[in-house]
Amino acid sequence: MRIGVSAKIFLAYAVLLSVFGANSLFTLLYLHRGRQELAANQRRLEVQVAVDAALRSLEDFSSSRANDSTGIPQGLTSRVAAQNGIASARQNLRDALAAVDQYLNDEANPRRRNEFEDYRREIVGMEARVVAVAADLGASDSTAGEDVGHQADRSLANLLSTFHRLKSNLRGRGNQIAAELSNNERRAVDAAMALTGLGLFLAVAAALLVLRTLWPLRVLREHARQIAGGDYGRRTGVRSHDEIGDLAREFNAMAHAIEEREHKLIRSERLATVGRMAAHITHEIRNPLASVGLYLELLSDEIGENPEAGRLVKSLSNEVDRLSEITETYLRFVRLPKPKLEREDLGALASSVMEFSRGELSLAHIDLDLAIASGLPEVAADENQIRQALLNLVRNAKEAMPQGGRIRVQVGTVDSSWVRLAVGDSGPGISPENLSKIFDPFFSTKEKGTGLGLALVQQIVSDHGGRIEVDLPPSGGTTFAILLPAAARSELAQPGSLPGPVTPGAGTVKDVVR
C-alpha cells in the first residue's frame, strides 16, 4: 500500500493527538467521578452528623430517665424529658432526611442512588419509631403500671440500637468510600502516568518517522550539489514508495540523462578534435603518398628484370597502398555523411552481406551460421552505411579467430518495434579492462588496427536512431548486437532513443553503447 508523505505525517500526529486526547478525556472523567463521590460523601457526612445528634439526644433522654433523682414524680419527669429529647431527635432526623432528599434531587449519582434511597427509607422508619416511643413514654406515667413502663424502656432500647446500627453503617460506608477514593486516585495517577509515557513515546516515534520521511530531501540536496560539481555517477539510493521516492527516482533518471549527455558531448568534442587532426594529417600525407606511388610505378618499369629490386619496389608499393587505405578510412570516419533513410529489409541486407563474405570466411576456416526470423518489419536505414557497419563487425569477428572458428549472425525482433542484428564469434572475447574502451577512436588491440572500425559502426548506428550492445556469453566469444527502430516508428526515433529492457540471447549484457 502506497502512503504519501502528507499521509504519514498526518497519521503520526493523529495518533499522537489521539493519545493525548484520551489522556485528557480520562482525566476529565476521573475528575467528574471524583466530584460525584465527594458530593455523595459530603451528604453522607451530613446524614451521619444529624443521626449522631439524634442519637445523643435519645441517649441523654435515656440517661435522664434512668438516673432521675430530682424528686419529681416519675410520670412528670418522663413527659418533660420526652418532650425535649424526642423533639430534638425528630428534628435531627428531619435534617438528615433533608440532606438525603437534596442529594437525590440535585446531584444523584446513579451508582449511589440506591444507597441514599435506602437511607431515606430507614430514616423515615426511625422517625416513625421515635414518634411511637414518644407515645409510649407519654403513656408510662405513675398510674400506668410497671408493665407499660418496661415496654417503653424496651422500645427506647431497641430504638437506640437501631440508631447505633445506622451510625455504624454510615461510618463504615464513609470509610469504605474514602478508601475507594484513595484507590481510584492511585489508579488514576498510574493510568495518567502510563498514558503520558505512551504519549511521549509516540511523540518521539512521530518525530523519528517525520525525520526519516524527510531525510531523503537532505540526500537529494547533497546529490544536487554533487551534480552541480560535475559528479554525475552517484545515485541517491532512496527506496521509499512515496512522493519523495518518486522525486528521487526522477532525480536519478535526470542524473543518468545528464551523465549520458555529458559523455556524448565529451565524445563529440573528442571526435571533432580527432577528426580535425585526422583530416589535417590525412591531407598532408595523402598527396605525398600519391606521388610516392607514382614514382614506384615508374621505378618498377625502369629496373626491368632485377628480382631483388623488384621485390623491394613491390614491398614499398604494398606499404603505400596500406597507408592509402588508412588515410581513406580516416576520411570516411571524419566525413561520414548523414544517412539517407529508406525502407530496408534488414534480414535481406544481412543475407546479402554474408553471401559476399562467405568465401573470405571459408578461406579463413570460419563457419558461418545465419538465422533470419520470418516476418521482420522493415527499418529506416541507409543501405550502404548499414552494409559497411555489418562488414566491419564481420571483419572484427574474423580477425578475432586467426585459427578459425564460427560466426553466428542472427536477425530478429525485440518488443515488435525494434529489429536486432547480432554478430557473434567463438573467439577469446574481450578483456574487462578493454570493454569500456572498444568504441573509442584509435583504440585497438591489433598490431595493425586503426581503431576506427567499431567507432565507425557506433557512429552509424547512432545516426540511425539505434543502439549497439556488447554481450560476453558465458560460453565464450563476443556478440555485437545492432538494434534499429522499425520503419513504423522510425520518424519518432531519435539518435540515442532506446527500447525497453532487452535480453539479447544467451549471456548477460556487459555494456551498452549508444
Which CATH number is 283's domain given? 1.10.287
Cell numbers placing 215: 531525510
Which of 332, 362, 378 lies at the terminal end of a domain, its last residue?
A: 332
131 or 507: whose pLDDT is higher? 131
Q: Of 170, 186, 206, which residue sits at a domain end?
A: 206
Q: Are both 186 and 74 inside the same structural domain?
A: yes
Q: 65 and 199 share a domain?
A: yes
* Predicted pLDDT of residue 334: 62
Give a yes or no: residue 433 inside a domain: yes
Are 260 and 514 within 8 A, CB to CB?
yes
391 and 449 co-located in one domain: yes
Which residue, 319, 327, 325, 326, is CA-closest to 280?
327
The arithmetic mean of pLDDT across residues 266-274, rounded, is 71
Q: What is the pLDDT of residues 425-437, one digit of tens each?
A: 988 888 888 887 7
Do residues 39 and 175 share a domain? yes
- Kindly give, in sequence order, each residue whose CB lies less than 8 Å from that of residue 359, ignoring residues fewer than 6 positions away: none
Which residues lie closer than 8 Å to 481 by C-beta, 6 or more apart?
420, 421, 422, 423, 468, 469, 470, 471, 504
| Mean pLDDT, rounded, for 209-216 | 75
pLDDT of res. 407: 92
Within-domain flag for 192: yes
Q: Are residues 47 and 78 in the same domain?
A: yes
Q: Which of 177, 206, 235 is the last residue of a domain?
A: 206
Domain annotation covers residue 128: yes
> Taking residues 185-190, what's their average pLDDT?
79
Band of pLDDT at residue 482, cut at 50, 70 and 90: very high
How large is the average pLDDT for residues 193-200? 79
pLDDT, position 37: 77
81 in a structural domain = yes
Q: Is 217 within a domain?
A: no
CATH number of the domain bearing residue 425: 3.30.565.10
In this model, does residue 481 exceed pLDDT 90?
A: yes
pLDDT at residue 424, rounded to an integer: 92
CATH of the domain at 159: 1.20.1420
**Which residues face 127 on adjacent strands?**
none
The 3-state DSSP class for residue 342 equals strand
Phi and psi of 122, rounded to 5°? -70, -40
- 47 and 92 assigned to the same domain: yes
325, part of any domain: yes
DSSP structural state of residue 492: T
The reply to whether 172 and 293 lie within a common domain is no
| Same-domain pairing of 17 and 143 | yes
Same-domain pairing of 393 and 368: yes
Q: Is residue 223 part of a domain?
A: no
CB-count burial class (<10 Å; 0-12, 13-18, 19+) for 253: exposed
Q: Is the pLDDT of residue 234 over 60?
A: yes
Cα(463)–Cα(388) distance, rounded to whole angstroms? Answer: 14
pLDDT on residue 70: 45
Domains identified in the chain, total number: 3
Of 132-146, 248-262, 321-335, least confident by mean pLDDT is: 132-146
Domain of 172, in residue numbers: 5-206
User: Can you tell me the mean pLDDT for 258-265?
Assistant: 78
For residue 385 the three cell numbers come to 552505411
On whether both 288 and 424 belong to a single domain, the answer is: no
**For residue range 289-331, what is the model confidence (pLDDT) as tens digits?**
778 878 777 777 777 677 777 778 788 888 878 777 777 766 6
What is the per-residue pLDDT for 184? 75
Q: Verify that 186 and 268 share a domain, yes or no.
A: no
In a domain, 448, yes or no: yes
What confidence score (pLDDT) does residue 25 get? 82
Burial class (CB in 10 A: 0-12, 13-18, 19+), 381: buried
Mark whether 165 and 277 lie in a shared domain.
Answer: no
Question: Any idea how long the chain is?
Answer: 514
Extended beta strands in 375-498, E state: 379-381, 405-414, 418-425, 467-472, 479-485
